């Protein structure tokens, strides 16, 4: 049956009623969709308040990355991810870094920037300077919008005015820099940008179009460095192999995309577990990777005087402890409690530490035995389950898949059929 996507009044229904409506419109049975329904009715209500047109929730595994020492303190780090081997790799590499004191971090102040785009300005260069002359007035106006943030020690800190030459047009673009304290800050800075718009338009002598934050959060960088023990990594050749892998990523955008994806395996998992905006962090990270004009590796690797691997990573980190889902989602609140972080900057430090550990984990596997051995042996459980194995069958199928060396669905199905036929 063809799907009918016209659902008038859908948004007014309860989640349960919406599920029935979706089943009807799609021609599926409600039972086919029942896995979308949260077993926890409270969670369904929370989800219904978080986003629109809710019919259910999706559970993603949360694993705990162990062994992390960050700036001299131990952390248990929750990671929400659907990908096998990510949590294991982060934990393994944290234990290797631990031998040399763990991870050392630093962050910028939590400065987010919103942009105000002015079009149709007759004298863009003079307008730019007029806006700088009005900086104090504009900052005061911005701060009036968020007295709570100002009371907490945050608020608008400065402006920058850029002239952007676009196709067939010149824009005057005002950047408002705001210390958002423990918020991710998007709503906070967007509100300020909207409030400034009429004055900015009047001072610049043009019309304001967009008023929104930039996700290129390059005034809010988080940095991490760690020494990874040569012998625990597998010896001098593995260390050299990791540095070769890094140089490849630094030189080649095709490799850099995958290299950085490996970093984001760790970063996104912690960002998601704490209810933060994964897309905002990913946009910022990839934009930062291209900041020099060419997309390249976000991390860097060197070999120290003793032959150990030294890894460093610097990435924009727009994460918060207030606002967004961090406060509304009970699992996110539990994750933040487990982390024991008291500020957005401390959360950012834990996130980048996991990103670096994750990156070294992937590079070590690539430089040593190849990525598939570890990854596929962990992935084998998924494949066995996808083939229909249940209970004890899962381990039996996994063992055979690993012995045969082909972790594939067709192989798993054949093994399962054989096991069931022979009753073993
Ligand atoms: P928010 O507006 O819910 O909370 C921020 C406000 O909380 C501040 O303005 C402040 O008044 C108050 N506050 C209370 N205690 C605070 C503390 N200790 N530190 C700082 N502020 C404190 O949330 P937000 O962080 O401004 O916005 C985040 C949300 O915006 C996320 O859900 C994100 O997905 C969404 N968003 C993102 C984008 C984007 O990234 N492009 C665009 C729009 C919205």
CA separation for the pair 412, 419 (Å, rounded): 10
Place of tokens 């799907």: 3
CA separation for the pair 143, 376 (Å, rounded): 53
Question: In this structure, which residue's CA is closest to atom 1 in ligand 1?
Answer: 323
pTM score, two decimals?
0.91
For position 375, what pLDDT does the model report? 65
Quick check: is 108 catalytic? no
CA separation for the pair 11, 9 (Å, rounded): 5
**What is the mean predicted confidence (pLDDT) over 222-228?**
98
For position 267, what pLDDT does the model report? 98
**What is the mean predicted confidence (pLDDT) over 275-292?**
98
Number of the ligand 1 atom closest to the C-alpha atom of 277: 34
Substitution site in 144, 151, 186, 279 for ligand 1 pocket (most atoms within 8 Å of beta carbon): 186
For residue range 318-343, what is the model confidence (pLDDT) as tens digits? Answer: 999 998 899 899 999 999 999 999 99
Substitution site in 110, 142, 183 for ligand 1 pocket (most atoms within 8 Å of beta carbon): 183
DSSP element (H, E) containing 268: helix 253-273
| 280 in contact with ligand 1, CB cutoff 6 A | yes
Number of the ligand 1 atom closest to the C-alpha atom of 323: 3
Q: Find the catalytic residue in 48, 71, 83, 252.
A: 83
| 148 in contact with ligand 1, CB cutoff 6 A | yes
Cα(35) to ligand 1 centroid in Å equals 32
Cα(396) to ligand 1 centroid in Å equals 49
| 271 in contact with ligand 1, CB cutoff 6 A | no
Q: Find the catalytic residue in 146, 182, 277, 314.
A: 277
Cα(318) to ligand 1 centroid in Å equals 10
Cα(177) to ligand 1 centroid in Å equals 15
Other C-beta atoms lying within 10 Å of the C-beta of residue 223? 18
Percentage of the chain exceeding pLDDT 90:
86
Number of the ligand 1 atom closest to the C-alpha atom of 154: 20
For residue range 360-401, what is the model confidence (pLDDT) as tens digits? Answer: 999 999 998 766 666 676 778 888 988 999 988 999 999 998
- Please name which of 189, 193, 339 lies closest in space to residue 275, comparing C-alpha atoms: 339
Interstrand relation of 111-119 and 169-179 (parallel, antiparallel or unpaired): antiparallel
Quick check: is 375 catalytic? yes
For position 346, what pLDDT does the model report? 98
Helices and strands in the chain, H and E counts? 18, 10
Q: How confident is the model at residue 6 (pLDDT cuts 50, 70, 90)?
A: very high
User: Does residue 51 have a pLDDT over 80?
Assistant: yes
DSSP element (H, E) containing 78: strand 73-80
For residue range 235-266, what is the model confidence (pLDDT) as tens digits? Answer: 999 999 999 999 999 999 999 999 999 999 99
Question: In this structure, which residue's CA is closest to atom 12 in ligand 1?
Answer: 149
For position 213, what pLDDT does the model report? 98
Task: Name, in order, each residue with C-beta under 8 angstroms of 166's C-beta and a sequence gap of 6 or more.
Answer: none
Q: Find the catalytic residue in 100, 175, 216, 261.
A: 261
For position 423, what pLDDT does the model report? 78
Q: How confident is the model at residue 402 (pLDDT cuts 50, 70, 90)?
A: confident
| 322 in contact with ligand 1, CB cutoff 6 A | yes
Other C-beta atoms lying within 10 Å of the C-beta of residue 190? 15
User: Does residue 172 have a pLDDT over 80?
Assistant: yes
| 315 in contact with ligand 1, CB cutoff 6 A | no
Average pLDDT value over all residues in the chain = 95
**What is the mean predicted confidence (pLDDT) over 23-32?**
92
- Please name which of 395, 365, 366, 369 lies closest in space to residue 383, comparing C-alpha atoms: 395
Integer angstrom CA distances of residue 273 from 63, 268, 326: 9, 8, 9
Query: By the 8 A CB rule, do 412 and 397 touch?
Result: yes
Number of the ligand 1 atom closest to the C-alpha atom of 189: 26
| 184 in contact with ligand 1, CB cutoff 6 A | yes
- Please name which of 287, 94, 116 lies closest in space to residue 194, comparing C-alpha atoms: 116
For position 424, what pLDDT does the model report? 67
For residue range 182-195, what is the model confidence (pLDDT) as tens digits? Answer: 999 999 999 999 99
User: Does residue 287 have a pLDDT over 90?
Assistant: yes
Number of the ligand 1 atom closest to the C-alpha atom of 146: 11
Cα(333) to ligand 1 centroid in Å equals 16
Tell me which of 277-291, 307-321, 375-389 is least confident: 375-389
Substitution site in 184, 282, 318 for ligand 1 pocket (most atoms within 8 Å of beta carbon): 184
CA separation for the pair 351, 70 (Å, rounded): 11
Quick check: is 12 catalytic? no
Tell me which of 50-64, 90-104, 342-356, 379-393 is least confident: 379-393
Quick check: is 83 catalytic? yes
For position 166, what pLDDT does the model report? 97
Tell me which of 28-32, 203-207, 276-280 is least confident: 28-32
**What is the mean predicted confidence (pLDDT) over 167-190?**
97
Question: In this structure, which residue's CA is closest to atom 2 in ligand 1?
Answer: 187
Interstrand relation of 309-316 and 111-119 (parallel, antiparallel or unpaired): unpaired
Interstrand relation of 111-119 and 207-213 (parallel, antiparallel or unpaired): antiparallel
């Amino acid at each position: 049956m063809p799907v009918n996507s016209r659902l008038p009044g859908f948004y007014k229904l309860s989640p349960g009623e919406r599920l029935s409506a979706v089943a009807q419109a799609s021609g599926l049975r409600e039972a086919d969709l029942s896995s979308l329904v949260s077993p926890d009715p409270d969670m369904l209500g929370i989800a219904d308040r978080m986003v629109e047109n809710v019919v259910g929730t999706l559970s993603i595994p949360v694993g705990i990355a162990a062994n992390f020492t960050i700036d001299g303190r131990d952390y248990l780090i929750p990671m929400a991810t659907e990908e096998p081997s990510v949590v294991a790799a982060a934990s393994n590499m944290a234990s290797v870094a631990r031998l040399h004191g763990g991870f050392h971090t630093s962050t910028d102040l939590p400065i987010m920037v919103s942009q105000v785009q002015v079009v149709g300005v007759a004298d863009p260069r003079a307008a730019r300077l007029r806006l700088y002359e009005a900086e104090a007035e504009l900052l005061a106006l911005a701060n009036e919008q968020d007295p709570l943030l100002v009371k907490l020690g945050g608020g608008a800190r400065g402006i920058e005015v850029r002239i952007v030459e676009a196709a067939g047009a010149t824009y005057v673009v005002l950047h408002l820099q705001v210390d958002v304290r423990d918020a991710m800050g998007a709503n906070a800075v967007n509100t300020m940008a909207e409030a400034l718009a009429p004055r900015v338009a009047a001072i610049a002598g043009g019309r304001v179009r967009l008023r929104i934050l930039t996700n290129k959060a390059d005034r809010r960088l988080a940095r991490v460095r760690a020494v990874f023990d040569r012998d625990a990594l597998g010896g001098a050749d593995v260390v050299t192999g990791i540095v070769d892998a890094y140089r490849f990523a630094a030189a080649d955008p095709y490799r850099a995309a995958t290299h950085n994806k490996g970093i984001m395996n760790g970063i996104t998992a912690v960002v998601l577990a704490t209810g933060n905006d994964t897309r905002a962090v990913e946009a910022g990270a990839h934009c930062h990777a291209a900041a020099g004009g060419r997309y390249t590796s976000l991390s860097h690797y060197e070999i120290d005087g003793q032959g150990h691997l030294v890894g460093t990573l610097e990435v924009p980190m727009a994460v918060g402890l207030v606002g967004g889902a961090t406060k509304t989602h009970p699992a996110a609140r539990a994750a933040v409690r487990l982390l024991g972080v008291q500020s957005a900057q401390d959360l950012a430090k834990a996130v980048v530490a996991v990103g670096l550990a994750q990156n070294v984990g992937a590079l070590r596997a690539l430089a040593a035995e190849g990525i598939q051995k570890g990854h596929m042996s962990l992935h084998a459980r998924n494949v066995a389950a996808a083939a229909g194995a249940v209970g004890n069958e899962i381990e039996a199928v996994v063992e055979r898949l690993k012995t045969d060396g082909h972790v594939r669905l067709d192989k798993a199905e054949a093994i399962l059929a054989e096991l069931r036929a022979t009753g073993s």
